[in-house]
């Protein structure tokens, strides 16, 4: 599903390497947590997976697509296979919950009938049934993040990247979001989660990949994280 083979990323000649010969294999339907301090290279890794950046060297293959052979015009199609959720929710403030999620389908030309059928199902998955007509300002932080997740998965991506999705949330709402990510993973979506939250890492008992100074220093299956 996701394969990085000796991937190095250097932004400029004057700077050091943001990533150094990263090798990583993520199987379909896997749930992987990526941890590391700020500046370790986590965000660069995610930006490479979404083709916002290109590697300096090495090979990336996602869902059978070799990024070396990927043309710029095909990148939007690739991104439809990868849902992304950020720490800040990026909701459209003047649209309802339903409209925020529907917008992700509208931009790819989905019919009104498909939108009407699909959006309620996805809102049910993220436990937001009954919030369809709410505005973003009326939502809690956890609810807002779950709307962002719904928007990211409404096109049924094969991979969901969640970049510090609980960073701005209190513990209860953070766990609400994590439970939704686990549910989406059970439906068959590969999930890549970055987090600084040690409690989440320890309790989830999933595969944990640690990045330090641009290199993978640990890759443990269901090991949790001990400081």
With respect to residue 173, please indicate whether it lies within any of the assigned structural domains. yes
Distance CA 1, CA 169 (A): 30
**pLDDT tens for the chain, residues 1 to 227:** 899 999 999 998 888 899 999 999 999 999 999 999 888 999 999 999 999 999 999 999 998 899 999 998 988 888 888 999 988 888 999 999 999 999 999 988 999 999 999 999 999 999 999 999 999 999 999 999 999 999 999 999 999 999 999 988 888 899 999 999 999 999 999 999 999 888 999 999 899 999 999 999 999 986 554 44
**Any residues with CB less than 8 A from the CB of 217 and at least 6 apart, and which?**
210, 211
Say what the pLDDT of residue 38 is: 86
For strands 31-35 and 190-194, give the pairing.
Answer: parallel
What's the domain count of the chain? Answer: 1
With respect to residue 81, please indicate whether it lies within any of the assigned structural domains. yes
Distance CA 70, CA 77 (A): 10
Say what the pLDDT of residue 226 is: 47
With respect to residue 134, please indicate whether it lies within any of the assigned structural domains. no
Q: Are 123 and 131 in contact (CB under 8 A)?
A: yes
CA proximity to 18, closest of 26, 8, 6: 8
Which residue do the tokens 């990510």 mark? 181
With respect to residue 212, please indicate whether it lies within any of the assigned structural domains. yes
Kindly report the pTM of this predicted structure.
0.90
With respect to residue 197, please indicate whether it lies within any of the assigned structural domains. yes
Give the strands of the sheet with 82-85, arranged side by side: 82-85, 159-163, 190-194, 31-35, 207-212, 215-220
With respect to residue 76, please indicate whether it lies within any of the assigned structural domains. yes
Give the domain range for residue 207.
Answer: 2-90+156-220
With respect to residue 227, please indicate whether it lies within any of the assigned structural domains. no
With respect to residue 191, please indicate whether it lies within any of the assigned structural domains. yes
Alpha helices per DSSP H over the chain: 42-49, 75-79, 97-106, 112-125, 141-153, 171-186, 198-204
Q: What is the CATH number of the domain that holds 73?
A: 3.40.50.300
């Amino acid at each position: 599903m996701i394969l990085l083979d000796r991937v190095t990323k250097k932004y400029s000649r004057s700077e050091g390497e943001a990533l150094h010969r990263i090798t990583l294999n993520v199987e379909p339907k896997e749930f992987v947590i990526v941890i590391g301090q700020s500046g370790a290279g986590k965000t660069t890794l995610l930006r490479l997976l979404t083709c916002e950046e290109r590697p300096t060297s090495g090979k990336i293959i996602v869902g059978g697509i070799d990024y070396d052979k990927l043309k710029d015009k095909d990148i939007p199609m690739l991104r439809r296979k990868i849902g992304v959720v950020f720490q800040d929710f990026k909701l459209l403030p003047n649209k309802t919950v339903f409209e925020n999620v529907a917008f992700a389908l509208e931009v790819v030309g989905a019919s009104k009938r498909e939108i009407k059928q699909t959006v309620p199902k996805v809102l049910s998955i993220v436990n937001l049934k009954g919030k369809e007509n709410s505005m973003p300002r009326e939502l809690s932080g956890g609810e807002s993040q779950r709307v962002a997740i719904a928007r990211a998965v409404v096109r049924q991506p094969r991979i969901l990247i969640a970049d510090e999705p609980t960073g701005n949330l209190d513990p209860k709402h953070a766990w609400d979001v994590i439970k939704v990510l686990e549910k989406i993973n059970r439906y068959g979506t590969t999930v890549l989660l970055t987090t600084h939250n040690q409690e989440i890492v320890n309790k989830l008992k999933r595969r944990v990949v640690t990045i330090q100074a641009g290199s993978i220093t640990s890759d443990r299956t269901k090991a949790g994280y001990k400081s």
